[in-house]
Structure 1
């Protein structure tokens, strides 16, 4: 329920987000946000080369675009503000390589970074302003998710799209300096734009969810800035957002008191696949090493997972590379077969590999009560060899890249370099990396955005 100070739920979110500041954070949390920008830029560069991003951008050009004011990442040109956010947001999520957050069970940075870079470029904002805006959106999204999940996610909503739009809109409002009253209306506008179902996981529409969210967050903020109004109780009302999407109205999140960027942080991905596959992939890669890549004698594979792993993943034989990214059997088989899981394993040649198909066919999934309920999709993999009675086993309770097992800065930088390779020059990639790592000192982010074209 809303407090006496804030007569509506949106009023509470608007008041805090309008003054959110990284000045209240420890230095390591600010560094983490900059890493989120760097990682999202990296996966947007690589995702910009996929069909989903190409189709979205091509259609926008076919139907006519406005003034070219914002950079299209990896495409060598600019577009109007909403088109840039749509294309870049779609690219950021195209490979499922973007970061996760455990309470959100979703991808906070793809939508926040894509909307903020486009809007920030148009308004020539400083690096510190864009970091403040990211903080506002992140805290709202994760603070609400901590109360609403897993029930919200289990209802079938793609949280990146449906709840992510609320925080992203607040972040856009913060960036352009809207007063709390206008922010409140922007949140109501965003609530009526929200949509996005998990049934579309493993298709181009999954990536589109992130693009639509980045676009709509800017649109809602700009509409409110022009005086467009929404219902005062669009979030908590009888027919409002929370009751319709979640079936309940959460308590007001304690914004600014227990920062989620510190408490839950971010999960950065070493593999371009669905988050629930990652601990199992870690185990499979370890076992591949023990086998020296020789999978010919494997007779049976058992993967033990937490029940939540099944909420996201697709079963059966994947018919394309997008389905393969959210298929546990495929990700395990490919990791065992090739000893790694990167973009090369998400080609049709890899998907149609005969040994991968054989390994998939002998992989059994089992729900395990022995794995912790920690939100990190823990998994264990047992590999049985012909003529052997004992299995080779590996278990990870949290994947590489999660807060318990963070990737090193060196590995994060390597990921950026790999994603940028062949999309922008090595000189631009290095300059962009150094720009982001010193983002709070930059007076205007325009140069960064233009490097990424």
Structure 2
């Protein structure tokens, strides 16, 4: 008889060691951690980050973990909360499977608890893998998208991943890990109605901090259901399942031998916009650079998308309300004006310009039945972009499977550094940023993560 799902995940997390990880999985974690710390630094001045920071009860009282890798400290739970909120506030964070942002949840918790206990970079990598791999397997068990039911999957599954990761980091046995998982299941939650508001990043941060609390309570001896995920009619997976089609029975036979960190990995965003915009920006930049397109030449812009993705995109709040970081038309217009897309495009000094506003009015979304539906959700626009020019020419970029920065089209270390510097330059001097990036991208060589950015 196969091991029950919750117990199988707890056994995997409690038994995983660094030596078990393939090199490609280790590389994925190093990239995810380095990229996400940079993104966190870019969000320090965001309003939601300031709101949450002001609410912390242990700020300056407990000296367990640093806030945003700076000089202020708080409890591990509070530092995790604000650091996760700060990271997700700028929608520049990486993406893994099913549209979930694994690093946004795992990095803050692992660095906070790792700092408290003096964990090495290898221990943190090992723990990240425990949380990621378990989360990936849970995401695969339901054929339907959680967002179709209104669930924010990152916020819903984040507490579980953090609980398993921190249980591994702390060296908990299987029984304690199982209780931590059961407690974390009770903390699941988050709705897509919160997207495009401050509640979106807050519910991710709350989920990460919930995983921290689950581990603390399990260590203290709190009891919890041993089948909190899979109990028929009552477990978390059944409660969240959009159509009740979640698989509660299939065994996890290859957990620990087939690695999703190898096959799915970490998908790094090149542009400070939502994931749905990344391929469209690639297409626009390809056309603008190849044909030296000037904005004043453009009469109409068509952003091509599959019928299936259009059904999802058309319901997004960002379509109804202009939110710069979620606006695909703005990202494409920035590409046409600047031949690059940076944080500058998010400033009103750019998107409020009359010429930019005029071109925005010429951008339309076109569902194209010839474009196949993506095999992964949340990939958004296809990368197919059609430009109608004043001289009668029509330029079109082809649809692409994955954006630059996807695990199958990875950024070089130099490109990763350039993104890190663009994110951190307002907070760190360049030599300090270079030192921090070098430590993160080679996290396996760090003896104590508490020394990062010191």
Normalising by structure 1, what TM-score? 0.91
Distance in 2, matches of 1:196 and 1:107, equals 14
Q: Residue 311 of structure 1 corresponds to which residue in structure 2?
A: 312
Listed as ranges, the gaps of 5+ residues in structure 1 are none
Within a 5 Å distance, the mapping from 1:184-203 to structure 2 comes to 184-203=178-197
Decide whether aligned partners of structure 1 residues 314 and 381 sit closer, same or farther in structure 2, where only a CA change above 3 A counts: farther
Q: Residue 162 of structure 1 corresponds to which residue in structure 2?
A: 156
Deviates more, 1:52-61 or 1:249-258: 249-258
Decide whether aligned partners of structure 1 residues 370 and 255 sit closer, same or farther in structure 2, where only a CA change above 3 A counts: same
Decide whether aligned partners of structure 1 residues 228 and 65 sit closer, same or farther in structure 2, where only a CA change above 3 A counts: farther
Matched, 1:341 2:337: no
Q: Residue 30 of structure 2 corresponds to which residue in structure 1?
A: 34
Task: Give 1:290 deviation, angstroms.
Answer: 4.3
Within a 5 Å distance, the mapping from 1:231-380 to structure 2 comes to 231-237=225-231, 238-246=233-241, 247-250=244-247, 251-253=250-252, 254-290=254-290, 292=292, 294-306=294-306, 307-308=308-309, 311=312, 313-316=316-319, 318-319=321-322, 323-372=323-372, 373-375=374-376, 376-377=379-380, 378-380=382-384
Task: Give 1:389 deviation, angstroms.
Answer: 5.0
Task: Give 1:208 deviation, angstroms.
Answer: 1.4
Residue by residue, what CA displacement relative to the aligned partner does 1:88-125 show, whole Å, maximum 9, x if unpaired?
10111111111111x33121111011110001111111
Residue by residue, what CA displacement relative to the aligned partner does 1:304-341 show, whole Å, maximum 9, x if unpaired?
1132365354444644xxx2222222222232233222
Matched, 1:228 2:222: yes
1:414 alignment partner, SS class? helix
Decide whether aligned partners of structure 1 residues 295 and 437 sit closer, same or farther in structure 2, where only a CA change above 3 A counts: closer
Residue by residue, what CA displacement relative to the aligned partner does 1:121-173 show, whole Å, maximum 9, x if unpaired?
11111211111100000001112112325432322211111022212211011
Distance in 2, matches of 1:418 and 1:160, equals 25
Q: Residue 398 of structure 1 corresponds to which residue in structure 2?
A: 402
Task: Give 1:228 deviation, angstroms.
Answer: 0.8
Q: Residue 109 of structure 2 corresponds to which residue in structure 1?
A: 115
Decide whether aligned partners of structure 1 residues 45 and 367 sit closer, same or farther in structure 2, where only a CA change above 3 A counts: same
Distance in 2, matches of 1:333 and 1:196, equals 32
Residue by residue, what CA displacement relative to the aligned partner does 1:210-256 show, whole Å, maximum 9, x if unpaired?
21122111111111110011122221122210111013442344411
Asked if 1 retains the 8 angstrom alpha-carbon contact of 2:383 and 2:397, the reply is no
1:404 alignment partner, SS class? coil
Residue by residue, what CA displacement relative to the aligned partner does 1:342-399 show, whole Å, maximum 9, x if unpaired?
1111112223222232222222212223334242443301010124053444543311
Matched, 1:16 2:12: yes
Decide whether aligned partners of structure 1 residues 204 and 315 sit closer, same or farther in structure 2, where only a CA change above 3 A counts: closer
Distance in 2, matches of 1:273 and 1:352, equals 17
Asked if 1 retains the 8 angstrom alpha-carbon contact of 2:59 and 2:73, the reply is no
Distance in 1, matches of 2:16 and 2:370, equals 41
How many residues align? The count is 441
Listed as ranges, the gaps of 5+ residues in structure 2 are none
Q: Residue 126 of structure 1 corresponds to which residue in structure 2?
A: 120
Normalising by structure 2, what TM-score? 0.91
Task: Give 1:283 deviation, angstroms.
Answer: 0.9
Residue by residue, what CA displacement relative to the aligned partner does 1:255-287 show, whole Å, maximum 9, x if unpaired?
112100011111101111111110001111222
Distance in 2, matches of 1:345 and 1:227, equals 50
Decide whether aligned partners of structure 1 residues 92 and 310 sit closer, same or farther in structure 2, where only a CA change above 3 A counts: farther
Matched, 1:171 2:165: yes
Q: Residue 146 of structure 1 corresponds to which residue in structure 2?
A: 140
Distance in 1, matches of 2:360 and 2:318, equals 11
Residue by residue, what CA displacement relative to the aligned partner does 1:55-87 show, whole Å, maximum 9, x if unpaired?
1101215x8764121011154311221110011
Distance in 2, matches of 1:286 and 1:39, equals 24
Q: What do you get for the CA RMSD once the two structures are aligned?
A: 2.1
Asked if 2 retains the 8 angstrom alpha-carbon contact of 1:186 and 1:224, the reply is yes
Decide whether aligned partners of structure 1 residues 417 and 390 sit closer, same or farther in structure 2, where only a CA change above 3 A counts: closer
Distance in 2, matches of 1:64 and 1:34, equals 29
Decide whether aligned partners of structure 1 residues 309 and 46 sit closer, same or farther in structure 2, where only a CA change above 3 A counts: farther
Q: Residue 218 of structure 1 corresponds to which residue in structure 2?
A: 212
Matched, 1:419 2:426: no
Matched, 1:77 2:78: no
Q: Residue 438 of structure 2 corresponds to which residue in structure 1?
A: 434
Asked if 1 retains the 8 angstrom alpha-carbon contact of 2:41 and 2:427, the reply is yes
Q: Residue 53 of structure 2 corresponds to which residue in structure 1?
A: 57
Asked if 1 retains the 8 angstrom alpha-carbon contact of 2:141 and 2:246, the reply is no
Asked if 2 retains the 8 angstrom alpha-carbon contact of 1:106 and 1:159, the reply is yes
Distance in 1, matches of 2:183 and 2:330, equals 40
Distance in 1, matches of 2:32 and 2:285, equals 26
